[in-house]
Chain A
Amino acid sequence: MEKTNKQALQVAALKNGTVIDHIPSGKLFTVVSLLKLQEMDKNITIGFNLESKKLGKKGIIKVADKFFSDEEISRLSVVAPNVKLNIIRDYEVVEKKEAHMPDELRGIVKCANPKCITNNEPMITYFHVVDKEQGVLKCHYCEKEQNKENIKLI
């Protein structure tokens, strides 16, 4: 019981919406901009540098009355692969989702190759995920591979 109370203290409860949990603190604001939360008019709570046994410090985001699409969730996997989503309806967790790396990424990641056409034309980037475990992406256009560590979001 004590444990639940502690968590309740960290972030207030949600009636309907989504709780995104286990975000590494360093990735929190990337997740915010990836999901374009700054453009939403929903009630949003963002927790930063909260204690986590797994991650040391974690971030948590609660968005009221918002249920993310599978596409939005798969985008998340690019920056924070172990993120957990709890879908809340009437204060109860009705579904848990994990962000999985999709096979393709469109318009999310910037190509690291300065001589790539995508960095020189008004166009949408397109990557094939060649290794989900290691997070290796291959640019559809210049065919250069890049690792998860060096990925820059658009």
Chain B
Amino acid sequence: MENRSLVTIAEYSKEKILYLLEMAKQFEKNSNRKILDGKVVATLFFEPSTRTRLSFETAVNRLGGRIIGFSDAATTSSSKGESLKDTIMMVSNYADLIVMRHYLEGAARYASEIAPVPIINAGDGANQHPSQTMLDLYTIYQTQGTLENLNIFLVGDLKYGRTVHSLIMAMRHFNPTFHFVAPEELKMPEEYKIYCRQHNIKYTEHTDFTEEVIANADILYMTRVQRERFTDLMEYERVKDVYILHNKMLENTRPNLRILHPLPRVNEIAYDVDNNEKAYYFQQARNGLFARQAIICDVLGITLDQIKE
């Protein structure tokens, strides 16, 4: 049987991405449908992630499915030393689909190879988090009316931020121009710049984060600069206030500009930005529901036509 699991966004073609976005659009129109009636979805969170889990569980609940699972591995048999394989095989007996978050990298790939039911990767360590990328894509599409030919600014921690890495890979189909805005210690790793060059993705690097730099941005994707990422704390002290977005920086930006953030935010977006119509991070989080409903249906073999009916 074809394995319909979603492990990484990199495996999705342009057509597949556009198809899922169309599906998400249907769910935005109406997210309460009984299409998962009689289905059981397992949410296995070996590492706590309240936001992602609530989003997935809401997605299932609103489609009429039932949920089993756990939100913290400390309360499960993996704390007794059970292997991931055994947990997955056991849960596969009960559920039609497994949504899994794991602290180890590659856990989702492995689970998708052994499980008789589809797996959705809800984050595997620092590796992949494809449902986040799908909601980012949906938000960009929703706010700009297209994914093609956009100026996308990625700001903050570009070294460890897996969401920005996945976004680059997913956007490769749509002729974007990227701007990487980061301090020296957290700049975009060489392997992703190589990836950009291999796929003819235009990019420019900046260390300054100013009004002038972001003047032609269509999307401003902010990420958190975390203290613990720095080896040189003097460097952290020097840059920590540089990558903060203030409302006054937005005065001369494009009218179609929207500000995204995977959340949680700490201080990288000042609270005075929240009331600006260009701030879009809370709507972005809401889109997670529709994007995840689309992913869930797709891995279960439910088609766009079936949803439209």
* Interface residues, chain A, with chain B CB atoms under 8 Å away: 113, 115-118, 120-123, 139-145
Set of chain A residues within 8 Å of B84, measured between Cβ atoms: 117, 120-121
The 3 closest A-B pairs by CB, nearest first: A141-B106, A142-B105, A117-B106
Contact status B127-A121, CB under 8 Å: no
Set of chain A residues within 8 Å of B106, measured between Cβ atoms: 116-118, 139-143
Set of chain B residues within 8 Å of A145, measured between Cβ atoms: 191
Interchain Cβ contacts under 8 Å between A and B, 10 examples: A115-B103, A117-B109, A120-B84, A139-B106, A141-B110, A143-B8, A143-B105, A143-B127, A143-B128, A145-B191
Set of chain A residues within 8 Å of B102, measured between Cβ atoms: 117
Set of chain B residues within 8 Å of A122, measured between Cβ atoms: 83, 85
B107 at the interface (CB under 8 A from A): yes
Q: Report the contact-size class of chain B (Cβ under 8 Å from the partner).
A: 10 to 19
Q: Would you give the shortest CB distance from A16 to chain B, in whole angstroms?
A: 41
Contact status B104-A115, CB under 8 Å: yes
Assembly CA distance A144 to B207 (angstroms): 26
Assembly CA distance A59 to B103 (angstroms): 43
Contact status A123-B105, CB under 8 Å: no
Contact status A115-B125, CB under 8 Å: yes
Q: Would you give the shortest CB distance from A94 to chain B, in whole angstroms?
A: 41
Set of chain A residues within 8 Å of B83, measured between Cβ atoms: 121-122
Contact status B105-A113, CB under 8 Å: yes
Contact status A142-B85, CB under 8 Å: no
Contact status B191-A142, CB under 8 Å: no
Assembly CA distance A122 to B83 (angstroms): 8
B126 at the interface (CB under 8 A from A): yes
Q: Would you give the shortest CB distance from A53 to chain B, in whole angstroms?
A: 38
